[in-house]
Amino acid sequence: METEYIKLDRQNPDREMLKRAAQLLRQGEVVAFPTETVYGLGANALEGSAVKKIFIAKGRPSDNPLIVHISNLNQLLPLVKEIPQAAEMLMKKYWPGPLTLIFPKSGIVPREVTAGLETVAIRMPEHPVAQVLIEYAGVPVAAPSANISGKPSPTSGQHVWQDMQGKVAMVLDGGETRVGVESTVLDITRKPPMILRPGGVTFEELQEMLGQVELDQGTGKMKVPRSPGMKYTHYSPEADVFVVARGQQNFSDKFEKAYRSLSAEGKKVAVLISEETEKQMGDGIHPHYLEVLGSRQDLKEVAHRLFSAFRNADHQGADIILIEEFSEEGMGAAVMNRMIKAAGNKVIN
């Protein structure tokens, strides 16, 4: 399939191009588009056969449900059986934005979207290109992240192109995404609501708003005991990822030691670290590739850069990515969740 690549201005996207993209969606084709979190791979959410094409393009297992994207609240009612009480204030505060809510689904949502579940995940993205695209399409748009299944999510049009050229009808390039990690997935059918995936809206923010919110224990916190042999990777670059845990001892010494032992085997090691660690690092380190993710205090910046840093390291031909553990506060929860999954739990303690 020939894939059209269209560059758009984020604030003032070409309306004619967006009309064409919307028409492709209505015709049952797949169009990749930017959101404020990561790029999505969209299809008409009301048409099972269109949604199937997303799974084929990504190589995604069909038992993993998709998020339905809407551009205004009128699109919500037909998709859901009821609106749980907690939803009202959450939607008011965070829509449009990086918060996905789980609702009991109505009959019009096809099985292909929800993977047979009785619930449906819905969010209203904030990116102007996404908003106008959905509005012009006139239908809700089902969209997972626009990467090949298992790879890091795309945060630029070029990332999408690398993974999706030849596989989808159109890629809309609306620039680098602002947040850089995916939306927070919050199950509001439970009391108290439960975070199924940490993301762009933080645990702390939701707790303040809801009073009580739980965090699914499977979300990859480093404290959770894990069986070493159970490798479960996701968001993974080609290179093998190792996370260097913070501890009592001097962190840059510990990081250097890990670097030396991994590169001793002749491997090309890429190093992804904070500004602070880079400053403390001695001259003993000459990584194959180095990227500074930002200050330890600026976890938003780290989230913004994480996935593209993984792709950069791959692009440079790294065999191994050695990455620094960050705090799990605020956006750090999403950062650490993605990092630990990308590492398949390989943590150097």
Give me the residues that bind Mg ion (CB under 5 A), please. Answer: 145
Residue among 99, 66, 101, 103 nearest 81 (CA): 103
Rounded least distance, CB 146 to Mg ion, Å:
9
The stretch near ligand TXA (CB under 6 A) out of 36-44, 155-163, 305-313, 321-329 is 36-44
The listed partner (Mg ion, ligand TXA, none) that binds 294, CB under 5 to 8 Å by sort, is none
Report in angstroms how near the CB of residue 233 gets to Mg ion at its nearest: 13
The Cα–Cα gap between 43 and 143 comes to 7
Among 43, 57, 120, 132, binds ligand TXA (CB under 6 A): 120
Which does residue 332 touch among ligand TXA, Mg ion, none (CB within 5 to 8 A, set by kind)?
A: none
Determine, following the binding rule CB under 6 A, whether residue 213 of this chain makes contact with ligand TXA: no
User: Measured in whole angstroms, how far is the alpha carbon of residue 296 from the centre of its chain?
Assistant: 20
Question: Which one of 35-43, 89-97, 283-291, 339-347 is the stretch in contact with ligand TXA (CB under 6 A)?
Answer: 35-43
Binding segment (CB under 6 A) for ligand TXA, from list 119-127, 212-220, 262-270, 311-319: 119-127
Smallest distance, Å, CB 36 to ligand TXA?
8
- State the Cα–Cα distance between residues 28 and 288, nearest whole angstrom: 44
Q: Is residue 133 within the footprint of ligand TXA (CB under 6 A)?
A: no
Binding of residue 131 to ligand TXA (CB under 6 A) = no
Identified binder of ligand TXA from the candidate list 8, 22, 43, 66, rule CB under 6 A = 66
143 part of the interface to ligand TXA, by CB under 6 A = yes
* Cβ atoms < 10 Å from Cβ of 249: 9
- Give the nearest distance from C-beta 318 to Mg ion in angstroms: 22
- Dihedral of alpha carbons 29, 166, 310, 127, sign: negative
Q: Is 277 in the site for ligand TXA (CB under 6 A)?
A: no
- Rounded Cα gap, residues 46 and 79, in angstroms: 9
CB of 32 to ligand TXA, least distance (A): 9
Map the chain to HEC letters.
CCCEEEECCCCCCCHHHHHHHHHHHHCCCCEEECCCCCCEEEEECCCHHHHHHHHHHHCCCCCCCCEEECCCHHHCHHHECCCCHHHHHHHHHHCCCCEEEEEEECCCCCHHHHCCCCEEEEECCCCHHHHHHHHHHCCCEEECECCCCCCCCCCCHHHHHHHHCCCCCEEEECCCCCCCCCCEEEECCCCCCEEEECCCCCHHHHHHHHCCCEECHHHCCCCCCCCCCCCCCCCCCCCEEEEECCCCCCHHHHHHHHHHHHHCCCCCEEEEEEHHHHHHCCCCCCCCEEEEEECCCCHHHHHHHHHHHHHHHHHCCCCEEEEECCCCCCCHHHHHHHHHHHCCCCEEC
195 binding ligand TXA? (CB under 6 A): no
Q: How far is the CB of 83 from ligand TXA (least distance, A)?
A: 15
Q: Pick one of ligand TXA, Mg ion, none as the site partner of residue 114 (Cβ within 5 to 8 A by kind).
A: ligand TXA
Residue 182 in contact with ligand TXA, rule: CB under 6 A:
yes
Nearer to ligand TXA, 145 or 252 (CB): 145
Nearer to ligand TXA, 167 or 254 (CB): 167
Closest distance of CB 108 from ligand TXA, Å: 15
| Residues in 71-100 at the binding interface with ligand TXA, rule: CB under 6 A | 98, 100
**Residue 148 binds ligand TXA, judged by CB under 6 A:** no
Residues lying near ligand TXA in the complex (CB under 6 A) are found at: 35, 37-38, 40, 64-67, 98, 100, 102, 114, 117, 119-121, 125, 143-145, 182-183, 185, 196-197
